[in-house]
Structure 1
Amino acid sequence: MPGRTDGLITLGVADALWVELTADSAVPTAPGAFTCSPARARVGYVLLGGHVVGTVRASGGRWGVPEVEVRRAAAELNAVGMDRQDLVRIGPFRGAPRQERNEETPLRWRQRIMGELRELGGPEQAARPEVGRPYPLAGIDWRQMLVEQTRDGSQRTWWLPRAAVRLLDAAEHAATQWVQAARTRQASAGAAVTEQPSRLRQARDADGPQTTSPQGSATSPRPYDKELEGQLYSVLSRKPGISRKVAGWACAVCHTTPAAVLDHCHEHGYVRAPVCQSCNTQERPDHLYSNDIRVANRYRRLFHTDTDDWLRHWHRCPGCRARTTLPLPHLAAWTAHIACRSLRPTHRASRGREPCGVLRVSWTGSWQAPRSCLLTVAVDFCPSGEHRVLARVPYRDAVERFGAWLAETVPAVAAAAGPDRLDGLPAQFRPVIADTSGEDQALF
């Protein structure tokens, strides 16, 4: 192969090899992974998916990478499956800080994508190479996967497939680990380097190629083993160094991506577990208002294909586990998606019949006063122009139905829950949703 020396290939050859090896991958890739910003070849590494490839500078001053590492990264990417309908919102979010982009800043892929989309005027312009071409991130061509959605005719949001989000999250974590390991090595070797005569350093550089990658120094995220169980988020989130500690765990839900945030129950205040951004986005209810949520298609995964994992995760909160229920927004979504499924009308479509519109649930009152706490399940965006109310379910009835469904669907989770698991719970839960019945009570 031209450009190959002692197992190393030049950056230009590596670009071509990467595209060739990943031509049939479900995740689209693009040239420029080694030679275009934000590739960090001269800093000492290049990201390919979630894989860190260390760069090598030969005596002639040319940069190269081990061919075997490029092939290994390509094989890992080719093994990734991707559902283009399973989307995760990546922005824009209000209050998100802008980040300066330069060669010394570790990868922050969300900020980079948002910055490029704003500069180029949206995904339509970003897809045109002649207009200030944005570069791939971690060897992945995000332009081919980006989806834009517009709400209310004005607010634009941008989405990527969940598999791509997890890959980019893994790449960001790997870059952070590499930088931390490199700084540790430099600090420990600093004193010895300052004492070494300059002629010895020159002789060492002339001996041959040297790698700037601290091979083997980056550690893989460890599995989460209930280390934070029973702790309050309001207390734990204020402890110094907690973000660094969270990044050391693997996501407690998908188990494949480094954790990025602490998921917690907003009603009882307890930490559930460290999770990745992708799982945290999927778990978050789609609030329209503080007491109104839209039941999107993703609830099909939460309550069908991945039910066991998600119910175990939600019941990591001692409050929800003791009450054998879910936080109110999730309970509302479950009621609409499962308990009221038979009531949802259908319409004729090209392939048989499809469910009518989009489900929405709102609630009023307090769980402490069963007659006033009421869940209202309705249909929005009906093709025939209707907006019908499907059911009004009292809170206590919804809890009882959920308990029966839980015992039948996931017996192991149901067996670990119940009113006898009350050790360590506070006498009063933190009220987070104002009571609308005028009786000066609150939900949870």
Structure 2
Amino acid sequence: MASSLESSPMRWPCPHRISQRWPDRLCGFPAVGGPDVDGPRYCVRHLPQKDRTRLGLSIDGDVDAMWFESDLRFSTPACWSWLVPTDPVQTLAAEAIDRLGRLSDSARSQMLSPESQGMLALTNWQDGCCAVCSLPASAFGTKLVTDHCHTSGLIRGLLCQPCNTKEGNRHNDEELIEGYRQLPPTRMLGVRLRYYDLVNGFTKPLGPEYGTGRDRSLLPEY
């Protein structure tokens, strides 16, 4: 996985396991260390305490600051390295429903709609991990944010708050964010999900008088 910038001295992907559901899903964030470091090399977030102390990173605020420094970023979205199962919607949605245990017939029926199946599949697949940086939302004491395309009104994926803020900048065309916009989790899984909020209901696509270029060209695909 190409998870670090070539100019960065931190070129080893962090081997910390980030998902209990998906044992092969590792952090992959650029690890601290060099050729003279013995043993696994971890990123600043998952360094053992003794190494944090040695590097002066014992304060969480310092770690969070380093985590989002430009030379520590992924060059491609983390989700691009995640395994997509065969027939992802049916497989992932069925697993999610099975974990809920005994359900009433009406509740189970509601979960069988295409949109519900798609959302169950997306949530199960991401398993609380941000699609861009892989960081679990629990690291910030929050839940993942449902990111959507404001032009099409369709969901892209689930992001941590910092990555969602970055993506929300329409002029942010850096490789990482642009890659996520072009191939988000919903497209990887083959699901089409309308964004919904309690105030406005389902978000409708913007008319042709809004948005041009990249955003407008994505409408048919989303």
Q: Give the TM interval when normalised to the shorter protein.
A: 0.3 to 0.5
TM-score normalized by the length of structure 2: 0.34
Choose between structure 1 and 2: higher strand proportion.
1
Highest relative contact order (Cα 8 Å, sep 6+), 1 or 2? 2
TM-score normalized by the length of structure 1: 0.20
